[in-house]
Chain A
Amino acid sequence: MIKRIFAASLILSSATALADPVDISGYVGIEVNHFDQIGLYPGQLTHTQPSLVFAPELRWRSDDGDTRANLSLFGRLDAADTDRSHFDIREAYVQHSYDTVSVLLGVNKVFWGVTESRHLVDIINQVDQLEYTDTDARLGQPMLSVTTDQDWGTLSAFVMTGFRELDFAGSEGRLRFGLPVDTASTSWGNSDEEWAPDFALRYANTFGAVDLGLSAFHGTSREPILQLNGGGTALEPYYGRIWQAGLDAQYTGDAVLLKLEAIMRGSDDFETFGAVVAGLEYTLYQVAGSDGDLGLIAEYLHDERGADAPTTINQDDIFIGARWAANDERDTSALIGAIYDNDDSSTALRAEFERRLDIGLSLKLRAQAFTNTDASNPLHAFRTDDYVSIALEKHF
């Protein structure tokens, strides 16, 4: 412990000696999730899942702003499912900007895309599946990336290694399949396993009211195929090698945003397929004489993948949602939405509410429910896992 403090202070003092002081921020939080129904599978926690979270961030910038170093950590301690207790390095990188080129080495999170109900194009980072209350949580990805900003747009190239496997809830956890996932028996499409290099390229630019992104990826699939083991007692993840081409575009009008994401994905393991999310967001400003804005969102999700590819629940779905921002001094906001499966009527509902209670203290309420799940839909495994979650975060 003393050694660690010493190491930390050494890092801090050497960084301080360089130029600007290190900027320290982040949050500590408490989350309590409540499942009203009993789990379907033996050993699953009943009702209450409390946990603590700690997410510090250290940022440093050189005086001229050309060199930056970031360290962003995330840890959760779960009292009910030990497998949900996890620690991750979200960011740990050094970045240097030359005149038109910027180079980044280390662990980072990169987001691509425009749609709300599904992030199709976004492929750099693995999903942090243990953070089921936050669908945008991602695991940090080690990379070397080079970005150039030109008159004709922004072009970024990524070389990655140190693949991040998907984490699964333990046997005590909720929102899991009936069979446990045996991550010790993970198999790979490349003999270098998680060290096989991944490559990605992205072009992004703005053309008047249209923001356009084009992307290409070759590497290890972020989505595993879950295979039944020999004894039929567990699921074993298989991560194959894939290529993916992606397009994301948004048209920004007065009150309407038109959004499109589309991908083509191929592999030796499955037949090439296409998938698309297309929709719109219409905002009613200062709704009903208030300061608040109400955004109405509708998206169509289509995915042509076959049974040989990693499973998706979004073959042919409609998403309807509403987003409300109070525009008050407490930044109060809320979101409700439902994804409806056109094939089998399975429906997933979600609601979120956020508000700053005091200086640095924010409240997050979330709820999720699964209704009308068809036995053939993967959501059927979660049909008793409706939950409400209350989280308090103290930012510093």
Chain B
Amino acid sequence: MLHQFQRNKRNTLALITTAILAFAPLGLHAQDAAQKGLEIATKSDNSDNGFGDSTALAKMVLKNKAGQSSSRELQFLTLERTSSKVGDKTISVFSTPADIKGTAVLSHAKITANDDQWIFLPALKRVKRISSSNKSGPFVGSEFAYEDITAQELGKFTYKWIKSEKCGGATCEVVERIPTYKKSGYSKQLVWVNTKTWQSEKIHFFDRSGNHVKTLTFSGYKKHGKIWRQSKLSMVNHRNGKSTVLSFSNWKFKTGLSDRDFKSSALENFR
């Protein structure tokens, strides 16, 4: 019994040694990949620094499998918060469809905790605090989940560099990112980051079972001063055949928005 134990022990030791020898380089490599992934994500995140605040108009076109479409128009307002410990503040105000005109959603992004969120319902003139724990639910019936539309803070993911590859006329770094916040609908995302602009070109979303379920494509990038902004986001859902295109226009920066505009009590002023 004892003998057997000792033999087992020796075997175990040998196994561990082999394992260490075998995986040590790979372990280092993994660390490098994580380091490189984070560096790329940080660079991409930093490329956006200093925009102050922004406003933009957006048209969202929802298409179903049969090709029928419906649309909604909204205004996005964003207030940059420079600390990496807190996320940006955003307001989305709907102007169409007419029956929800003036409906506004305010979000104070957090890094790993749930974002603080309020909705203003103009028909009732009522502001409701809502839970933002429903990350994976659809945003206003679109193929964007709430977690796709809210602020993509650096601290919301862990990163791993996968590879470099050609994308259009430039080179892209492909980075895998895994959500660190609770209740994400994704096991991971693959992000193509353009090394010229440090902007995202494409994101593949993988569901909890690891299937590639959605693809988001960014296009029409334009530089506004130092800040890059896309004019089109196209989300295709491979599972249900539906798609949503979000087209931006009228990007404006440093418009003078302040914390006071991003309070729940101020939401009705954006009607």
Q: Which residues of A contact B (CB under 8 A)?
A: 25, 27, 59, 65, 68, 97, 100, 109-111, 114, 136, 147, 149, 154, 204, 206, 211, 250, 252-257, 283, 285-286, 291, 293, 327-331, 356, 359-360, 362, 393, 395-396
Tally B residues with Cβ within 8 Å of A.
35
| Residue from B62, B101, B114 whose CB has the most chain A CB atoms within 10 Å | B101
- The 5 lowest CB-CB distance pairs between A and B, nearest first, are A395-B98, A329-B141, A254-B133, A285-B134, A154-B265
Q: Is the CB of B131 within 8 A of A329?
A: no
A25-B98, A362-B99 given; 17 more Cβ-contact pairs under 8 Å: A65-B269, A68-B269, A111-B124, A111-B126, A149-B263, A149-B265, A250-B129, A252-B130, A257-B129, A293-B137, A327-B140, A329-B70, A329-B140, A329-B142, A359-B97, A360-B99, A395-B98
Q: Which residue of B lies closest to A134 (CB)?
A: B123
The minimal Cβ–Cβ distance linking A318 to chain B, given in whole angstroms, is 22
Q: A286 and B260 in contact (CB under 8 A), knowing A252-B129, A395-B98?
A: no
Q: Which residues from chain A contact B130 at a C-beta distance below 8 Å?
A: 252
Q: Which residues from chain B contact A27 at a C-beta distance below 8 Å?
A: 98-99
Q: Is the CB of A149 within 8 A of B129?
A: no
B13 interface hit (Cβ, 8 Å): no
B100 interface hit (Cβ, 8 Å): yes
Q: Is the CB of B138 within 8 A of A327?
A: yes
B184 interface hit (Cβ, 8 Å): no
B238 interface hit (Cβ, 8 Å): no
Q: Among the listed B100, B125, B133, which residue makes an inter-chain contact with A111, where contact means beta carbons less than 8 Å apart? A: B125
Q: Is the CB of B266 within 8 A of A253?
A: no
Q: A110 and B137 in contact (CB under 8 A), knowing A254-B114, A257-B131, A395-B99?
A: no
Q: Is the CB of A328 within 8 A of B260?
A: no
CB proximity to A under 8 Å, residues B110-130: 114, 116, 123-126, 128-130
Q: Which residues from chain B contact A359 at a C-beta distance below 8 Å?
A: 70, 97
B264 interface hit (Cβ, 8 Å): yes
Q: Which residue of A lies closest to B123 (CB)?
A: A136
Q: Is the CB of B131 within 8 A of A255?
A: yes
Q: Which residues from chain A contact B224 at a C-beta distance below 8 Å?
A: none
Q: Is the CB of A283 within 8 A of B134?
A: yes
User: Majority SS of interface residues in chain B?
Assistant: loop
Q: Which residues from chain A contact B124 at a C-beta distance below 8 Å?
A: 111, 136
Q: Which residues from chain A contact B138 at a C-beta distance below 8 Å?
A: 291, 327
Q: Is the CB of B141 within 8 A of A393?
A: no
Q: Is the CB of B260 within 8 A of A100?
A: yes
26 contacts between A and B (CB under 8 A): A25-B98, A27-B99, A65-B269, A68-B269, A114-B128, A147-B265, A154-B263, A154-B265, A206-B264, A254-B133, A285-B133, A285-B136, A291-B138, A291-B141, A293-B137, A327-B138, A329-B64, A329-B70, A329-B140, A329-B141, A331-B100, A356-B99, A359-B97, A362-B99, A393-B99, A395-B99
CB proximity to A under 8 Å, residues B87-121: 97-101, 114, 116
Query: Once the chains are docked, how many angstroms separate the CA of A331 from the CA of B124?
Result: 17
Query: Once the chains are docked, how many angstroms separate the CA of A166 from the CA of B64?
Result: 48
Q: Among the listed B98, B100, B260, which residue makes an inter-chain contact with A149, where contact means beta carbons less than 8 Å apart? A: B260
Q: A328 and B98 in contact (CB under 8 A), knowing A100-B260, A111-B126, A252-B129?
A: no
B208 interface hit (Cβ, 8 Å): no
The minimal Cβ–Cβ distance linking B2 to chain A, given in whole angstroms, is 53
Q: Is the CB of B266 within 8 A of A149?
A: yes
Q: Which residues from chain A contact B126 at a C-beta distance below 8 Å?
A: 111, 136
Q: Which residues of B contact A (CB under 8 A)?
A: 62, 64, 70, 97-101, 114, 116, 123-126, 128-131, 133-134, 136-138, 140-142, 182-183, 260, 263-266, 269, 271
Query: Once the chains are docked, how many angstroms separate the CA of A97 from the CA of B269?
Result: 10
Q: Which residue of B lies closest to A254 (CB)?
A: B133
Query: Once the chains are docked, how many angstroms separate the CA of A359 from the CA of B125?
Result: 23
Query: Once the chains are docked, how many angstroms separate the CA of A102 from the CA of B190?
Result: 47
Q: Which residues from chain B contact A114 at a C-beta distance below 8 Å?
A: 128
Q: Which residue of A lies closest to B264 (CB)?
A: A206
Q: Which residue of A lies closest to B136 (CB)?
A: A286
Query: Once the chains are docked, how many angstroms separate the CA of A347 from the CA of B183?
Result: 39
The minimal Cβ–Cβ distance linking B262 to chain A, given in whole angstroms, is 11
Q: Which residue of A lies closest to B124 (CB)?
A: A136
The minimal Cβ–Cβ distance linking B183 to chain A, given in whole angstroms, is 8
Q: Which residue of A lies closest to B271 (CB)?
A: A59
The minimal Cβ–Cβ distance linking B20 to chain A, given in whole angstroms, is 41
Query: Once the chains are docked, how many angstroms separate the CA of A356 from the CA of B265?
Result: 28
Query: Once the chains are docked, how many angstroms separate the CA of A362 from the CA of B101?
Result: 13
Q: Which residues from chain B contact A206 at a C-beta distance below 8 Å?
A: 116, 129, 264
Query: Once the chains are docked, how many angstroms separate the CA of A396 from the CA of B130?
Result: 28
Q: Is the CB of B131 within 8 A of A356?
A: no
Q: Which residues from chain A contact B269 at a C-beta distance below 8 Å?
A: 65, 68, 97
Q: Is the CB of B263 within 8 A of A25?
A: no
Query: Once the chains are docked, how many angstroms separate the CA of A147 from the CA of B134?
Result: 33
Query: Once the chains are docked, how many angstroms separate the CA of A231 from the CA of B101?
Result: 51
Q: Is the CB of A211 within 8 A of B129?
A: yes
Q: Which residues from chain A contact B100 at a C-beta distance below 8 Å?
A: 331
Q: Which residues from chain A contact B70 at a C-beta distance below 8 Å?
A: 329-330, 359
Query: Once the chains are docked, how many angstroms separate the CA of A147 from the CA of B100?
Result: 26
Q: Among the listed A25, A110, A286, A327, which residue makes an inter-chain contact with B101, where contact means beta carbons less than 8 Å apart? A: A25
Query: Once the chains are docked, how many angstroms separate the CA of A251 from the CA of B62?
Result: 34
Q: Is the CB of A109 within 8 A of B125?
A: yes
Q: Which residues from chain A contact B266 at a C-beta distance below 8 Å?
A: 149
Q: Which residues from chain B contact A395 at a C-beta distance below 8 Å?
A: 97-99, 101
Q: Which residues from chain A contact B131 at a C-beta distance below 8 Å?
A: 252-257, 283
Query: Once the chains are docked, how many angstroms separate the CA of A330 from the CA of B142?
Result: 11
Q: Which residues from chain B contact A255 at a C-beta distance below 8 Å?
A: 131, 133
Q: A110 and B141 in contact (CB under 8 A), knowing A100-B260, A255-B131?
A: no
Q: Which residue of B lies closest to A362 (CB)?
A: B99
Q: A286 and B265 in contact (CB under 8 A), knowing A250-B129, A395-B97?
A: no
Q: Which residues from chain B contact A68 at a C-beta distance below 8 Å?
A: 269
The minimal Cβ–Cβ distance linking B226 to chain A, given in whole angstroms, is 26
Q: Is the CB of A360 within 8 A of B141?
A: no
Query: Once the chains are docked, how many angstroms separate the CA of A163 from the CA of B140?
Result: 39
Query: Once the chains are docked, how many angstroms separate the CA of A328 from the CA of B101?
Result: 17
